[in-house]
Amino acid sequence: MRKIFITATGVVLLLLLAVYGLLQYRQYSSYQNRIHQQASLIFKINVDHIVKKRGLSNLKSDARGFGVPANIFIYTVTNKSALTFFCSLPVTDTVELKTYLKKAFRINHFIVNAQGSVWGNNQDQSIKIAYDDRNVVFCYSLLKENVNDIMGELLAGKSFLADTADRIVRLKKEGAPIVYDFKNYSGQASLADHHILLTGTFPVEGFGVTDSLKCPAALAKGLSVNAWINGNLSGLLTKDIRFKDYILEKDSLLKYYKGYAAMEVGNSVNQSQSVISYTFNDEFEQVEQVVQKEVKVPEITLSFKGNTSPLVHYLQKQRVIGSDNQLNKELFPLYEVYGKYDNRELQFSTNKARPIASATVITPYFLFAELDFDQLSKHNQFTIFNSYIKDLSALKVKAIKQNREVGKVEIELKFNGDINF
């Protein structure tokens, strides 16, 4: 009996060692040839950590055609836009992969190049893919830019960070479910029930954070968006703003802007809009008729502290606003936007009757943003975003300045009851 017990114990220990070894190998192999050497902002998703927390049964093996490693890396690249993200994964079955890409990512255009690799994109080209029998590369971008060079290098297994690189070593030490690494800054996210909480550090030089930190003294009820920033933004606004035939020189904007901006989106307000219809005159000729129609639009308000008189004069000169301080319809055709100002603040709002609320109080945050997705969905104010925010409940961003170079950020994203971590 004792011999059987010892044998059984040995078998169990061997199985545990085998499982441990497998998990360690999954961790090791997930860092091999997955991150481009020019990666800028890197997010690491620790899949094994999340699966362990939720239970192995929660990770189902769908017929997707690619493997799910212990860690998945999503990142930007230095010579591409900060709004363009890359990721590569191992391929297990090219037939299943193509079917999955069509269904999950709506890839509707595929071509095969001379090397036999497959390239594709969705209808608006925000998602691009490339794959062969070894790897699949994903690219998601809010901008339409040429990313074939980076995708080609990833697909060919070139230009990767070595697993001994400092950034890889730092990422290996982090055991949180989600972490990010950017230059010498890092952070991590925790998952709990219906929300994600991310905390970390980031560079603040470009914000030009002011010494005195302010926020609105009073807020309206039922806001769906509330945000403010204290900073001269000299490091972020590095180029002139150009749109069609309109130009705003950065030097002029920075000269008149005085380091504080705030935004609110509230309940709906009424606006009168011109609607063109057609009727027939007494001679049965079709004539155009302009009718004023009352519509409901979201109350959007932007406020800026600044040297307002010369700023308004400059905006009028550049045809951004008219002599009545109303925003040029060609720049924002959706709603009427009314401008008004006093000696300290310039305000643009879709609510013509909204008074300037220039009173502020002291705040510890140089950057703050709060979005109530439930309110946005309830009022159906921005229908174009409804499909993207249907699973989200709220987002809150708070940032403080630790010293001249480093800031600390806390981001909390809440999901509705159907999403549970």
Cβ atoms of 23 and 70 closer than 8 Å: yes
For residue 241, give the H/E element and its range.
strand 241-243
Read out DSSP for 207-238? GT--SS-EEES---TT-SEEEEEES--TTT--
Separation CA 239–CA 258 (nearest Å): 18
Question: What sign results for the dihedral spanned by CA atoms 93, 171, 53, 74?
Answer: negative
Q: State pTM to two decimals.
A: 0.76
Q: Give the residue among 368, 411, 419 at the shortest CA–CA distance from 393.
A: 419
Give me 255's structure tokens. 């000269």
- Look at residue 2 in the predicted model and tell me its pLDDT: 54
The backbone region for 142, taken as left when phi is positive above 0, alpha when psi lies in -120 to 50, beta otherwise, is alpha
Length of the chain: 421
* Cβ neighbours, 10 Å, residue 230: 26
* Residue 371 main-chain phi, psi, to 5 deg: -120, 125
Q: Give the residue among 265, 263, 219, 226 at the shortest CA–CA distance from 379.
A: 265
Long-range Cβ pairs for the range 138-141 (8 Å, 24+): 138/86, 138/87, 138/88, 138/89, 139/84, 139/85, 139/86, 139/87, 140/84, 140/85, 141/80, 141/81, 141/83, 141/84, 141/85
Give me 317's structure tokens. 């000169």
Residue environment code for 259-298, b if the CB has 16+ CB neighbours within 10 A, otherwise e: bbbbbbbbbebebeeeeeeeeeeeeeeeeeeeeeeeeebb
Give me 389's structure tokens. 């925010």
- Look at residue 7 in the predicted model and tell me its pLDDT: 52
Cβ atoms of 49 and 172 closer than 8 Å: no
Beta strands 241-243 and 338-341: pairing type?
A: unpaired
Q: Which residue has the tokens 């470009």?
A: 206
Read out DSSP for 47-82? HHHHHHHH-GGGS---S-SB---SEEEEEEETTS-T
- Look at residue 193 in the predicted model and tell me its pLDDT: 77
pLDDT by residue, tens only, the chain of 421 residues: 555 545 545 444 444 444 444 445 465 556 666 899 999 999 999 888 777 766 554 455 467 889 888 889 999 999 999 889 999 999 999 999 999 999 989 998 999 998 889 999 998 888 999 999 999 999 999 888 899 999 999 998 888 888 888 888 888 888 888 999 998 888 998 887 788 899 999 999 889 999 899 999 888 778 899 999 999 988 888 889 998 889 999 999 999 999 999 999 988 888 887 777 777 776 667 777 777 788 888 899 999 999 999 999 999 999 999 999 999 999 988 899 999 999 999 999 999 999 998 889 999 999 999 999 888 888 777 777 777 788 889 999 999 999 989 999 999 999 887 666 5
- Look at residue 12 in the predicted model and tell me its pLDDT: 46
Give me 36's structure tokens. 């481009």
Separation CA 195–CA 79 (nearest Å): 33
Cβ atoms of 100 and 131 closer than 8 Å: no
- Look at residue 34 in the predicted model and tell me its pLDDT: 80
Give burial (CB, 10 Å; 0-12/13-18/19+) of 58.
exposed
Task: Give 407's contacts (C-beta < 8 A, 6+ positions apart).
Answer: 201, 202, 203, 204, 207, 209, 366, 367, 399, 400, 401
